[in-house]
């Protein structure tokens, strides 16, 4: 009997982890690679065609791609990145309709304004915002909403990894940022056909990572972000902390996050839902209908022994109805993102070797080396040119102390301007 086939559409970044796990479980991984969409160059590092039993090249011919995949009879069609959502939805609707998300709401899982409107329609509170191509429409909205002189956030409606997201403190300069964004391609090759302007939210940012099956959501991890402002960007990641699955302490956050999945029609596969816990309660940042990025599932397995990847395998193997609602944190874990104050060539990356002696030091991920070119840490993809260090320990106090020690080490970092 042939092995069950699992197709991953654009298996980039964390979605690249699915293939080896699927193969180890006795199934056959297949990649669908889209050559007609955005370039997504910063995401491609993890893609290895050798990890797949077949690679289907999609060149815009949906019927042709469907025919090739239909011959393989997949049991699952999984979107790998946001840019693959519409293609993955079309393929899943045709080939695995019982394991597909709600087709009519696919734009609510991709376009950030449509997404928020879907939450509002479901009765969930959302941040005040407007989606526009005309700055005068935005100006009228700012006046109407009483946001004159208030901090604003300007972002693409289909961004990822905080790319293109900026803030206008006190509303100053929002027109310039709006104009700079509209009609441009970002570093992933995604075109900004319109722009989202929102009131700036304050509070603590969380993400809930899930794998869903037939409308039932299984939480694999809940993480808390520590961000710091950087230039005109919205903020850069300082660190991410894995939290216990506490249905009392985090009840409001969990209810809102799972409600958001229902609102956007996400019934199946992975999601990474980012939420700001504001003084007025939880407010959505965005639902990302894919695995958490930046290698998150691998770190989650350090924390709990499970991850979105292991639960995707469970679903593909027919065990989806057995997934638990949550997880058990086995140890405290934090990822500390290294930061570059400017772009250029790193001259003394060996300073990070000193971190190995820290009591909670676990392992480095994509750690920068001397001679490497790095980008200034203005968004997540730029941050990943530096890498991050995983801390794991039974004491959260020890982890906090070691995070601080890494930041102190970083003060010694030398980055020379790259004049090449």
* pLDDT per residue as tens digits for the range 137-180: 999 999 999 999 999 999 999 876 677 888 899 999 999 999 99
Q: What is residue 44's predicted lDDT score, i.e. its pLDDT?
A: 67
User: In this predicted model, what pLDDT tens digit does every residue of 281-308 receive, in sequence order?
Assistant: 999 999 999 999 988 999 999 999 999 9
For the structural domain made of 128-199, what CATH number should be given?
3.30.1490.20
pLDDT at 194 over 50: yes
- Is-contact 148 171, C-beta < 8 A? yes
Least confident of 38-52, 216-230, 256-270: 38-52
Of the pLDDT bands very low, low, confident and very high (cuts 50, 70, 90), residue 119 is very high
Cα–Cα separations (whole angstroms), residue 56 to 59, 76, 317: 10, 15, 22
**Which residue shows structure tokens 């992933």?**
188
- Is-contact 302 294, C-beta < 8 A? no
Q: How far is CA 97 from the centre of its chain?
A: 25
Helix (H, G, I), strand (E, B) or coil at 215: coil
Starting at the edge strand that comes first in sequence, how are the strands of the sheet with 415-416 ordered?
373-374, 344-346, 415-416
pLDDT at 209 over 80: yes
pLDDT at 392 over 90: yes
- Is-contact 14 20, C-beta < 8 A? no
- Is-contact 234 205, C-beta < 8 A? no
Please choose, from the candidates 380, 382, 330, 374, the residue with its C-alpha nearest in 3D space to the C-alpha of residue 352: 374
The residues pairing with 233 across neighbouring beta strands, listed in sequence order, are 166, 230
pLDDT at 233 over 60: no
Q: How far is CA 402 from the centre of its chain?
A: 26
pLDDT at 230 over 70: no
Domain ranges of the chain: 5-100, 128-199, 204-416
pLDDT at 232 over 70: no
> Averaged over 94-121, what is the pLDDT?
98
Cα angle value 175/113/263 (rounded, 5°): 160
Q: What distance in Å separates the CA atoms of residue 353 and residue 412, rounded to the nearest whole number?
A: 12
Q: What distance in Å separates the CA atoms of residue 270 and residue 259, rounded to the nearest whole number?
A: 15
User: In this predicted model, what pLDDT tens digit does every residue of 43-101 receive, in sequence order?
Assistant: 666 789 999 999 999 999 999 999 999 999 999 999 999 999 999 999 999 999 999 99
Q: How far is CA 95 from the centre of its chain?
A: 26
Q: What is residue 43's predicted lDDT score, i.e. its pLDDT?
A: 67
How many CB atoms neighbour CB 213 within 10 A? 20
- Rg of the chain (C-alpha set): 21
pLDDT at 324 over 50: yes
Of the pLDDT bands very low, low, confident and very high (cuts 50, 70, 90), residue 420 is low
Of the pLDDT bands very low, low, confident and very high (cuts 50, 70, 90), residue 41 is low
User: Hey, what are 342's tokens?
Assistant: 């400017």
Of the pLDDT bands very low, low, confident and very high (cuts 50, 70, 90), residue 381 is confident
Which element (helix H / strand E) includes 258?
helix 251-263
- Is-contact 91 70, C-beta < 8 A? no
Residue 295 Ramachandran class (φ > 0 left, ψ -120 to 50 alpha, else beta):
left
Q: What distance in Å separates the CA atoms of residue 175 and residue 154, rounded to the nearest whole number?
A: 10
Q: What distance in Å separates the CA atoms of residue 286 and residue 296, rounded to the nearest whole number?
A: 17
Please choose, from the candidates 210, 219, 227, the residue with its C-alpha nearest in 3D space to the C-alpha of residue 276: 227
Of the pLDDT bands very low, low, confident and very high (cuts 50, 70, 90), residue 1 is very low
Least confident of 99-108, 161-170, 244-253, 358-367: 161-170
- Is-contact 30 72, C-beta < 8 A? yes
Cα–Cα separations (whole angstroms), residue 16 to 29, 136, 174: 10, 43, 37
Q: What distance in Å separates the CA atoms of residue 412 and residue 58, rounded to the nearest whole number?
A: 47
How many CB atoms neighbour CB 295 within 10 A? 21
> Averaged over 258-263, what is the pLDDT?
98
pLDDT at 254 over 90: yes
Question: Which CATH topology does 5-100 take?
Answer: Rossmann fold (3.40.50)
Q: How far is CA 30 from the centre of its chain?
A: 22
> Averaged over 362-374, what is the pLDDT?
94
User: Hey, what are 102's tokens?
Assistant: 């709600």
**What is the architecture of the domain spanning 204-416?**
2-Layer Sandwich (3.30)
The residues pairing with 76 across neighbouring beta strands, listed in sequence order, are 6
pLDDT > 90: what percent of the chain?
84
């Amino acid at each position: 009997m042939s092995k069950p086939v699992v197709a991953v559409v654009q298996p980039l970044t964390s979605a690249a982890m699915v293939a080896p796990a699927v193969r180890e479980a006795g199934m056959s991984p297949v990649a669908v690679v889209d050559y007609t969409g955005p370039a997504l160059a910063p995401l491609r590092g993890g893609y290895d065609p050798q990890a797949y039993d077949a690679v289907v090249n999609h060149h815009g011919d949906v019927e042709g791609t469907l025919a090739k995949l239909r011959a393989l009879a997949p049991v699952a069609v999984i979107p790998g990145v946001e840019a693959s959502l519409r293609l993955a939805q079309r393929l899943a609707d045709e080939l695995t309709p019982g394991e597909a998300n709600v087709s009519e709401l696919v734009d609510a899982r991709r376009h950030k304004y449509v997404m928020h409107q879907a939450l509002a329609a479901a009765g969930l509170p959302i941040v005040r915002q407007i989606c526009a191509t005309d700055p005068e429409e935005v100006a009228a909205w700012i006046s109407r909403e009483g946001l004159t002189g208030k901090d604003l956030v300007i972002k693409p409606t289909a961004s990822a990894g905080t790319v293109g997201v900026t803030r206008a403190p006190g509303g100053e300069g929002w027109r310039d940022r709006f104009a700079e964004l509209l009609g441009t391609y970002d570093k992933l090759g995604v075109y900004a056909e319109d722009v989202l302007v929102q009131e700036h939210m304050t509070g603590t940012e969380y993400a809930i990572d899930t794998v869903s099956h037939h409308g039932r959501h299984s939480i694999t991890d809940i993480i808390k972000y520590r961000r710091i402002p950087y230039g005109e960007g919205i903020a850069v990641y300082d660190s991410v902390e894995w939290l216990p699955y506490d249905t009392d302490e985090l009840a409001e956050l969990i209810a809102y996050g799972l409600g958001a999945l229902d609102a956007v029609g996400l019934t199946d596969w992975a999601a990474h839902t980012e939420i700001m816990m504001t003084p007025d309660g939880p407010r959505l940042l965005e639902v990302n209908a894919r695995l958490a990025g930046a290698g998150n599932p691998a770190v989650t397995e350090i924390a709990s022994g499970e991850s979105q990847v292991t639960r995707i395998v469970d679903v593909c193997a027919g065990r989806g109805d057995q997934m638990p609602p949550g997880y058990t944190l086995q140890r405290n874990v934090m990822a500390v993102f290294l930061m570059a104050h400017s772009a250029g060539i790193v001259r003394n990356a060996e300073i990070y070797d000193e971190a190995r002696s820290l009591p909670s030091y676990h392992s480095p991920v994509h750690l920068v080396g001397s001679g490497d070119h790095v980008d200034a840490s203005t968004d997540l993809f730029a941050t990943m040119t530096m890498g991050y260090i995983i801390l794991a320990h039974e004491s959260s106090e020890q982890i906090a102390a070691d995070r601080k020690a890494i930041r102190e080490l970083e003060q010694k970092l030398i980055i020379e301007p790259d004049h090449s």
